[in-house]
Structures are given as structure tokens and as C-alpha cells.
């Protein structure tokens, strides 16, 4: 797509080239759209698109390969860190990105993410945490908050029956193989900017030859949460009380 | 509002089911007495899902859904209601999940 | 316990240091697991992913030492689940990948195999079969036939399955497996068993590094070309059916071109044993003893379990008195034999389970029992000599 821009007009922002110009299947206001856009902006800024091999999850973002213009490999549910490991070990000079949701990463894929992190695998994981299983109709996730109502916790998550939410990124940050672990949020424009900075740092860690890097981004699910998109974004302030925002570890700093 | 021919964006957009859309003629603005085709932003209305995140985020409250229009996806797309009130702060583009916004530098910056 | 690094080089009697594969010496005494591993290395294997499980741990250990020597990828994964998915990732970027495991681990890999079949990604999986079901035993078995030969994971697909009956054959079939995998863009399985994996045999290793097929589909970074996606998902039923029809057409092509089997003493055989792998070796001894006793027995040995040599068996059946299937299982290949024979002659079965191996004496007894309860065939002599019995490369339509 080319814009004809007269000389008097300077573009401050436009859709990144690495983002396919198509309408996405994501619900109106879904954070996946924002996160895809941030990644695409960074692909443009860091000139990564032609070097990237990305691994797609199972979840709402299963179609990520339709939206970000890089090579993509579909992964079975939860196995993205293992798939990314296979990619990284045999393609040392490529940029490797794994994109996962909370079910993919913290439920069925818990072993894979822990061991990829323990091995210090040099790829970057984007972990989209919206505390729910969107694709399959809004069931409880390992990161669902206590008291949160979902289709498989209709009376609200109850610790005695359903256990406690898992702060998986804190757990991963303990491992020496994890060079960078951070948690951002989409709650407001400023936070979106900070989340992008975290993604950039994670990518730079990989490019500099560091170990495992992960950015968890607190995101929304308007339909699953039964809220409007703006309400669901505002709700992220509540979510952040369970999952604090910030850089958990940066072992490459200084 | 004036529509200048050079503002038409020559692209087609594919939706998930292969639906092809054409970007609507973008919003333009002109200050009284000055017509140089400047406007603060373009909106790819065919891809807007009316989520209203931009409307909530806009600090100048110059965005609203255009309820006269239903786009190909079935939503009322967002529109700029007061071009003069837009400062090209880019906040709408930052929150947009569908990357519908193209933001241009404010007139003052361009003139200087 | 001796350090694992010391054992292989003493046993195999060849120098294993150095960055490049060396030409093999004339004749070496080699453990099956290690021979298969080295065969894969010599076939240009870029990556190995695995998890320790008896009775194939030596394959992983050989790779653990050799692959880093050669600057190639080796990962002992956190589980077989991890290993097969690492393989999926590496293979989707166009690399030559080997994974090995044994029965319980193979079950874990079914998901990954289904994905790779749907994604049309080539790789080679070695199953050193052991007793089951469940944790079972570590003795040899052939009870994964259903699992692998019928596709392994969910969905409408098959994978070529090759069954070596000796270590020398295992070496040759490893190279063939990589070639098949890339030619047809499919996972390929090699079905060995604990006996073959653990046995040591003198072999003249005939390694082969098959030429690599053009990788116009691999996801290796979209530099200077449009991005690619390796996936198996399509939510539109019409599209997925079309994809499946393409897969089926591929399977028909494999059935037409890649059937392999071997026969021994078939030309004048009155009663034929159908067996593969270790069971075939037992059968060979049993046939020799049976012939010494005046019973004209022969061996029909499938080497490709899929595509199964159905046409050849179908043609053979009316010419013999009976067929005895011998397996280290409750009878899994037995079903494919019965399908191929289509009632044209009686089919009997002898099998052991749990890690037990049939003895040649028991097999001879079963041959005689089968002889006693069957009638001579009326289909005429099989052939003038074995050379007439090639394998029919064209799969008959009747098998659809």
C-alpha cells in the first residue's frame, strides 16, 4: 500500500510494513491486535522481518501467521518453546520468536517453557496473558484470577477447587538461563509504549547473543470477560495487582 | 468537507474470509481560507471494528463512531469529529488493535 | 560403571575423534543402536533430539558425543514430547532431523507426528520397540505396529515404515529413510526392536548421504522472498478436504513406488512364514530346520510395513498351502496379512509378548501344526525360482 503524500505532509505514524494489510479475526479491541502491531513496528525498526522464523501457538493467535509478514511454523498446543528450540539449534543466525497465550504457555506447555528457559535457549517469547481461554469459548486458565468467572468456573475461581493463579514469569525469572524477563500491560497508551520498550529490549538481548528472553503482556478479552473493550482495558489495572508490572530480571544489564 | 483526489489510497484489503474492501475516502480537513489538503490523520475505515479504544484514549475527545456508516465488517467505524482539535499526538494509533490510523505532523510543525 | 564416553569407541574399534565423518573400516562389530546413530550422521543428519529410554539410550548417547564433535545440533529434551516438537521445528526449517525412542515414548510423539504429517515436514523417527502396554518391559517387541504403521497420531494419514532385520540393513534403511522423507515430504519411521538395538553384529557399514531435495517450502527466514507458513490448520472444510486429497494422492504414489520386501526359499515353498525384523530372523532359522525335516517352508519378509507388500502377498497366497505369521506381539501385522491374502489361503499365527522372543523350535512346531490342519494348495507352483518373484511395484486398486 502506498500513500501519496504531498511535500507539506510528514507521516508521524502509519501501519508497519511487517503487519499484513488485512482485517484480523480478533474481536474488537483485542489486545492481540495491539501486540501484533508492536511486534511489527519492531520488526520494521530493527529490520528483522527477513531474518525471522516465528512459531505460532494454539489459541486465538493461531492465525498470527496471517498477520505478521515473516516465516511462521505452526506448533502443537503448548509446544512452541520446543519447536523454537529446534529452530534455534539448527538456524543459529536467524531471529526466532515464539508467540504464546496463557493456556499454551502456562497450562499444557509448562514443561516446554520451563526447560527452554532452563536451557537458556536464545529465542524471544511473547507471552500474552489475558487470564482466559478465548479461542475455545472463555474457560478458566492457569492465570485466571481468584473469583474470576469463566465458563469453566461459573461461580468464580475458587482456590480450594481450582488452585491459585500461576505467576509463571516470576518462576522462570529464577532460572539462570533466563537473560530477560519482563511484564508489561496494555492498560493505557503510556503502558503500551513501555510494553513495546520491553519487547525491544527482549529482542535486543537475543540479537546480542543472550539467553532466553520473555515478555509477558497483560492483555484483555472483552468477550470472555463480558466487558466492552474500553472496560476490559481499564480492568487490567486490577489484573496488575496479581501480576506486577515491571522488569523481573535483566541479566544482561550493565 | 473537501475531498482532494490525491488523498485516495489505492489499496484493497482482504478480510479473513477473503472479502475485499476498499479504503473509504479518508477524512480531510481544511482551515477556513486555506486549502492545501492537510489533515491530521487518515482512518482505514474498512478495517475498523468500532472497539472505541481510541475514542476512550483520545485526550482531546475528537473521535467518535460514525453511526451513519456500517462497514464491510459490520461495524460503525471511528471518525474524526473535529480536525482542528486534533494535535497529531498519535495516541489513537498507539491503542488501535487494527492499525487503522495514519497520523500526519501538525500544521504548525510542517509550516516551520 | 564405565563412563559412557569410553564404551562406544572400544566396542566399535574405530576412531571417533575428528570433525568430519571418516570412511568406515572393512568390518566392524557394532551395536545396533549405535550403528543406526552413525548411519544417520553419515546420511547428513543435521540435528538429533531425544530422551533416554531403554532399550535405545545408546543411540542418544552416541549422538550426544558425535553431534557436537561435528558442530551439529544435539538436545536431550525434557521429554519425548519436547523431542518430537524440537524435531518439528528444525525439520520445518528444512534440516535433516532424527529422533529416536521406544514404545512408551513413541506414544508421546503421536501428536507431533500427526502435525508433521499434516504440515508435510520430513523427518526420521526410530522406534526401538519394547514390551507394552504401558510401562511394560524393556525386552524386544513388535507391538507398536498398529501405532506406527496405521499412521501413529490422529487424522487420515500414513507414514512410510521400514523394518530392518539386521544391523547392516538398519544402516542402509536409515539413509533410505531420510531420502524417502524428503522426496515425499513426510515423517518416516524405522521399526527396530530391543533385540536389534542391543545386539552386536559384524557389519561392513555401507553409509550413504542422500542428495537433499529442493527446499522450496522450508521456513528458513524470508530473505528476498515471500514469507512461508508451515501449518496443518485450515478451518474451511472444503480447503481441508482438498489438502487431505493431496495427502492421499501422495500416499497412493508412495504405495505405487516404495513397496519393499524380500523372499527366501519361496519358489518351491508349500508353507510360508510372513515375519519382519527379529521375528524374521527366528523364522529363517525355523525354515532351515523345517526343510531339513522335509517340510518345504519359505519366508516372505516385509521390509516396508507401510506401504505393505499386499500385492505380492496376494499373488503368493493361492500358490501355497498356508501362511504362518510370526510376530513379537498378539498379532498386529497379522491383520494386514489377512487383508492382503483375502481368504485365498489359511493364515495362522504364532506370537510371543512381553519381551519374549519366539524360539525357532516353537516356530517349527507351529509350522507342522498348521501343515497338519490344512490342505495342499491348488494354485500351482509359486515360480521356477525366487528370482521370478520380484515385488510388484504397482499397487492393485483392490487395496483401496
Average of pLDDT values for B100-112?
74
Q: How many residues make up chain B in this entry? A: 112
pLDDT at B106: 85
Lowest average pLDDT, out of B16-20, C97-101, C288-292, goes to B16-20
How confident is residue C20, by pLDDT bands cut at 50, 70 and 90?
A: low
Fold entry, domain A31-250: Rossmann fold (3.40.50)
Neighbours of C239 (CB within 10 A): 11
- Residue C140 near residue C278 (C-beta atoms within 8 A): yes
How confident is residue B38, by pLDDT bands cut at 50, 70 and 90?
A: confident
* C220·A94 Cβ contact <8 A: yes
3-class DSSP string for chain A: CCCCCCCCCCEEECCCCCECCECCCCCCCCHHHHHHHHHHHHHHHCCCHHHEEEEECCCHHHHHHHCECCEEEECCCCCHHHHHHHHHHHCCCCEEEEEEEHHHHHCCCHHHHHHHHHCCCCCEEEEEECCCECCCCCECCCCCCCCCCECCECCCCCHHHHCCCCCHHHHHHCCCCEEEEEEEECCCHHHHHHHHHHHHHHHHHHHCCCCEEEEEEECCCHHHHCCCHHHHHHHHHHHHHHCCCEEEEECCCC
Contacts of B97 in chain A (CB under 8 A): 24, 26, 28-34, 37
Does B73 or B27 have the greater pLDDT score?
Answer: B73
pLDDT at C19: 55
pLDDT at C48: 98
* A91·C93 Cβ contact <8 A: yes
Domain that holds residue B94: 5-111
pLDDT at B5: 38
Mean pLDDT of chain C: 90
- Cβ pairs A/B, distance under 8 A: 119
At residue C130, φ and ψ (nearest 5 deg) are -135, 175
* B44·A29 Cβ contact <8 A: no
pLDDT of A1 strictly over 90: no
Contacts of B36 in chain A (CB under 8 A): 6, 8
Task: Render pLDDT for A117-138 as a digit per residue (tens, 0 to 9).
Answer: 999 999 999 999 999 999 999 9
A123 vs chain C: nearest CA distance in angstroms?
13
Give me the sign of the Cα torsion angle C98, C100, C103, C104.
negative
Average of pLDDT values for A151-175?
96
Contacts of A95 in chain C (CB under 8 A): 221
* B52·A228 Cβ contact <8 A: yes
pLDDT at C397: 25
pLDDT at C6: 28
pLDDT at C381: 57
Q: Where are the domains of chain A?
A: 31-250
pLDDT of C88 strictly over 60: yes
How confident is residue C15, by pLDDT bands cut at 50, 70 and 90?
A: very low
- Please state at what angle helix C110-119 crosses helix C237-257, rounded to 10 degrees: 90
pLDDT at B110: 42
Structure letter (DSSP) for residue C12: H
Task: Render pLDDT for C152-211 as a digit per residue (tens, 0 to 9).
Answer: 999 999 999 999 999 999 999 999 999 999 999 999 999 999 999 999 999 998 899 999
Task: Render pLDDT for C89-128 as a digit per residue (tens, 0 to 9).
Answer: 999 999 999 999 999 999 999 999 999 999 999 999 999 9
Task: Render pLDDT for A76-92 as a digit per residue (tens, 0 to 9).
Answer: 999 999 999 999 999 99
Contacts of A19 in chain B (CB under 8 A): 99
Cα separation, C110 vs C84, in Å, equals 9
- A120 in contact with C at a CB cutoff of 8 Å? no
Domains held by chain B: number = 1
pLDDT of C271 strictly over 80: yes
pLDDT of A175 strictly over 50: yes
Mutant choice from A29, A31, A194 vs B, greatest count of B C-beta within 10 A: A29
pLDDT at B109: 44
Mutant choice from B16, B46, B99 vs A, greatest count of A C-beta within 10 A: B99
Residue among B44, B53, B90 whose CB faces A13 most closely = B90
C111 vs chain A: nearest CA distance in angstroms?
8
User: CATH number for the domain including B21?
Assistant: 3.30.70.20
Burial level of C1, CB count in 10 A (0-12/13-18/19+)?
exposed
How confident is residue C398, by pLDDT bands cut at 50, 70 and 90?
A: very low
- Residue C87 near residue C48 (C-beta atoms within 8 A): no
pLDDT at C26: 82
pLDDT at B26: 45
Does C312 or C377 have the greater pLDDT score?
Answer: C312
Q: Which of A202, A205, A34 is nearest to A128 (CA)?
A: A34
User: What's the complex ipTM?
Assistant: 0.93
Q: Which domains does chain C have, with CATH numbers?
A: 22-203 (3.40.50.970), 263-386+394-398 (3.40.50.920)
How confident is residue C23, by pLDDT bands cut at 50, 70 and 90?
A: low
How confident is residue B63, by pLDDT bands cut at 50, 70 and 90?
A: very high
pLDDT at C377: 83
Percent residues over pLDDT 70 in chain C: 89
Mean pLDDT of chain A: 95
B10 Ramachandran zone, left/alpha/beta (phi>0; psi -120 to 50): beta
Give me the sign of the Cα torsion angle A134, A137, A142, A143.
positive
C264 vs chain A: nearest CA distance in angstroms?
43
* C230·A52 Cβ contact <8 A: no
The torsion defined by the Cα of C333, C335, C338 and C340, in degrees rounded to 10, comes to -70
- C257 in contact with A at a CB cutoff of 8 Å? no
Amino acid at each position: 500500500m502506498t500513500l501519496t503524500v504531498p511535500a507539506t505532509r510528514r507521516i508521524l505514524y502509519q501501519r508497519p510494513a511487517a503487519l499484513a494489510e488485512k482485517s484480523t479475526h480478533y474481536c474488537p479491541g483485542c489486545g492481540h491486535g495491539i501486540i501484533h502491531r508492536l511486534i511489527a513496528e519492531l520488526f520494521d525498526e530493527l529490520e528483522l522481518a527477513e531474518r525471522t522464523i516465528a512459531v505460532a501457538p494454539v489459541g486465538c493467535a493461531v492465525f498470527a501467521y496471517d498477520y505478521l509478514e515473516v516465516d511462521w511454523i505452526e506448533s502443537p498446543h503448548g509446544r512452541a518453546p520446543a519447536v523454537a528450540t529446534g529452530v534455534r539449534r539448527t538456524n543459529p543466525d536467524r531471529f526466532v520468536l515464539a508467540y504464546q497465550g496463557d493456556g499454551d504457555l502456562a497450562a499444557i506447555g509448562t514443561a516446554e517453557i520451563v526447560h527452554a528457559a532452563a536451557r537458556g535457549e536464545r529465542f524471544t517469547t511473547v507471552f500474552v496473558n489475558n487470564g482466559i481461554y478465548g479461542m475455545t469459548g472463555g474457560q478458566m486458565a492457569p492465570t485466571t484470577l481468584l473469583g474470576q468467572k469463566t465458563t469453566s468456573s461459573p461461580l468464580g475461581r475458587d482456590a480450594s477447587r481450582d488452585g491459585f493463579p500461576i505467576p509463571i514469569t516470576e518462576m522462570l525469572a529464577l532460572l539462570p538461563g533466563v537473560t530477560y524477563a519482563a511484564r508489561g500491560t496494555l492498560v493505557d497508551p503510556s503502558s503500551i509504549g513501555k510494553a513495546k520498550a520491553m519487547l525491544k529490549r527482549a529482542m535486543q538481548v537475543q540479537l546480542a547473543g543472550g539467553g532466553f528472553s520473555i515478555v509477558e503482556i497483560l492483555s484483555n478479552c472483552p468477550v470472555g470477560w463480558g466487558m466492552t473493550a474500553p472496560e476490559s482495558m481499564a480492568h487490567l489495572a486490577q489484573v496488575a495487582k496479581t501480576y506486577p508490572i515491571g522488569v523481573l530480571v535483566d541479566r544482561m544489564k550493565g | 468537507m473537501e475531498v482532494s483526489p490525491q488523498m485516495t489510497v489505492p489499496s484493497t484489503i482482504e478480510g479473513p474470509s477473503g472479502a475485499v474492501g476498499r479504503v473509504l475516502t479518508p477524512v480531510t480537513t481544511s482551515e477556513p481560507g486555506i486549502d492545501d489538503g492537510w489533515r491530521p490523520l487518515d482512518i482505514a475505515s474498512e478495517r475498523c471494528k468500532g472497539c472505541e479504544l481510541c475514542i476512550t484514549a483520545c485526550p482531546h475527545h475528537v473521535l467518535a463512531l460514525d453511526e451513519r456508516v456500517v462497514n464491510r465488517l459490520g461495524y460503525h467505524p471511528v471518525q474524526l469529529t473535529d480536525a482542528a482539535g486534533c494535535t497529531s499526538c498519535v495516541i489513537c494509533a498507539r491503542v488501535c488493535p487494527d492499525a487503522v490510523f495514519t497520523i500526519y505532523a501538525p500544521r504548525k510543525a510542517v509550516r516551520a | 560403571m564405565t563412563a559412557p564416553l569410553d564404551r562406544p569407541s572400544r566396542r566399535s574399534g574405530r576412531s571417533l575423534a575428528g570433525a568430519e565423518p571418516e570412511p568406515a573400516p572393512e568390518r566392524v562389530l557394532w551395536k545396533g543402536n549405535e550403528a543406526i546413530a552413525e548411519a544417520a550422521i553419515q546420511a547428513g543428519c543435521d540435528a538429533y533430539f531425544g530422551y533416554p529410554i531403554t532399550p535405545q539410550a545408546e543411540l542418544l548417547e552416541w549422538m550426544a558425543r558425535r553431534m557436537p564433535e561435528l558442530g551439529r545440533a544435539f538436545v536431550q529434551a525434557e521429554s519425548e514430547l519436547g523431542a518430537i516438537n524440537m524435531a518439528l521445528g528444525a525439520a520445518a526449517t528444512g534440516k535433516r532431523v532424527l529422533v529416536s525412542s521406544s514404545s512408551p515414548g513413541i506414544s508421546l510423539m503421536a501428536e507431533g507426528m500427526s502435525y508433521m504429517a499434516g504440515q508435510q515436514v520430513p523427518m526420521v523417527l526410530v522406534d526401538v520397540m519394547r514390551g507394552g502396554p504401558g510401562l511394560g518391559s524393556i525386552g524386544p517387541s513388535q507391538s507398536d505396529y498398529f501405532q506406527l504403521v496405521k499412521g501413529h497420531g490422529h487424522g487420515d494419514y500414513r507414514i512410510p515404515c521400514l523394518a530392518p532385520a539386521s544391523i547392516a540393513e538398519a544402516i542402509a534403511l536409515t539413509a533410505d529413510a531420510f531420502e524417502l522423507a524428503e522426496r515425499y515430504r513426510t515423517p518416516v519411521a524405522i521399526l527396530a526392536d530391543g533385540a536389534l538395538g542391543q545386539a552386536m553384529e559384524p557389519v561392513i557399514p555401507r553409509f550413504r548421504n542422500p542428495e537433499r531435495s529442493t527446499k522450496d517450502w522450508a521456513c528458513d527466514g524470508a530473505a528476498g522472498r515471500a514469507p512461508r507458513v508451515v501449518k496443518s490448520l485450515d478451518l474451511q472444510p472444503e480447503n481441508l478436504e482438498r489438502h487431505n486429497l493431496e495427502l492421499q494422492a501422495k500416499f497412493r504414489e508412495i504405495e505405487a513406488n516404495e513397496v519393499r520386501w524380500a523372499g527366501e526359499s519361496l519358489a518351491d515353498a508349500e508353507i510360508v512364514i510372513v515375519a519382519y525384523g527379529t521375528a524374521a530372523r527366528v523364522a529363517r532359522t525355523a525354515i532351515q530346520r523345517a526343510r531339513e525335516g522335509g517340510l518345504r517352508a519359505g519366508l516372505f519378509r516385509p521390509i516396508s510395513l507401510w506401504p505393505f507388500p499386499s500385492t505380492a502377498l496376494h499373488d503368493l497366497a493361492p500358490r501355497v498351502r498356508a501362511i504362518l505369521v510370526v510376530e513379537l506381539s498378539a498379532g498386529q501385522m497379522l491383520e494386514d496379512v489377512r487383508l492382503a491374502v483375502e481368504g485365498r489361503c489359511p493364515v495362522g499365527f504364532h506370537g510371543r509378548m512381553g519381551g519374549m522372543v519366539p524360539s525357532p523350535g516353537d516356530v517349527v512346531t507351529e509350522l507342522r501344526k498348521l501343515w497338519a490342519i490344512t490342505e495342499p494348495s491348488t494354485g500351482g507352483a509359486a515360480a521356477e525360482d525366487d528370482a521370478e518373484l520380484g515385488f510388484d511395484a504397482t499397487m492393485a486398486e483392490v487395496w483401496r
